[in-house]
Amino acid sequence: MNRINPIHIAILLVVILAFIIMKLHDAKEELAQNKESYQKTLVLADKIKGLQSSYFNKIKIQKSLERLLRQSSLRSANITKKVTNSGILLTSESMDIKALNLLMGKILNGAYNISNLKIKRLNNEKASLKLEIKW
């Protein structure tokens, strides 16, 4: 005998449909949150990567400073270079003003994290320098 009430079947189907719709709604919300989270993470990661590669990349900073110090006008400027774990220290007891201008022009226009700086005018043509760059 067919004893199943079609209304019961209909209710069951409605309940199943409602349940799946609810699950779908939750999944869509989760997807929207995941997408938003992905975009936020991407923006954050780009910013961190950008700043890291410009201000805190040890190898890049060392190479660019070495390239700079190899320039003929700076080679004769008696600049001492000391590399530590946290950064690099450039010192000169007495250097030509033009060489100082060239060096500082490059440093200030580049992405270097200057933590310590002392420039002292010795006379019209000479100055002393102490410059610490950190990474």
Partner 1 sequence: MFSKFKGQIDTIFVDVNSASFELDKSVNIILSPSLYWVKKVTLPVKSVREVKPLLESLFEENLPDGVYSYDVYKQDDEFVIFAYEDKVILNILHEKGISSAQINKVYLAQSELFRQESAKKISEDTILLVEDGIVVVLPFTFASSDEVLDVHDVKLSKNSIRLKQFSHLVNEKSLYTIAFIFFALIALVSTEYFITVKKNNISQTQRDALFVKYGLKPTMLQNRSMLKSYEKIYKSQTQLREYMADLLSLHLKEKHKIKVITYKNKKLRVQFDGIKSGEEKYIEQILKSKKCKFSAQYKNDIWYVEFKI
Which residues bind to partner 1, rule: CB under 8 A?
A: 1-3, 5-7, 9-10, 13-14, 16-17, 20-21, 23-24, 27-28, 30-31, 34-35, 37-38, 41-42, 44-49, 51-52, 55-56, 108, 111-121
Instruction: Report the run of H or E that residue 95 belongs to, with start and end.
Output: strand 87-96
As measured in angstroms, the least distance from the Cβ of 5 to partner 1 is 6
Structure tokens at 92: 């000169």
- Name the residue nearer to partner 1 (CB basis): 37 or 80: 37
Residue number, 7 or 70, with CB nearest to partner 1: 7
For 77, other C-beta atoms within 10 Å of its C-beta total 19
Largest Cα span, the chain: 115
CB of 55 to partner 1, least distance (A): 6
**Minimum CB–partner distance for residue 23 and partner 1 (Å):** 6
DSSP classification of residue 112: -
Nearer to partner 1 among residue 13 and residue 75 (C-beta): 13
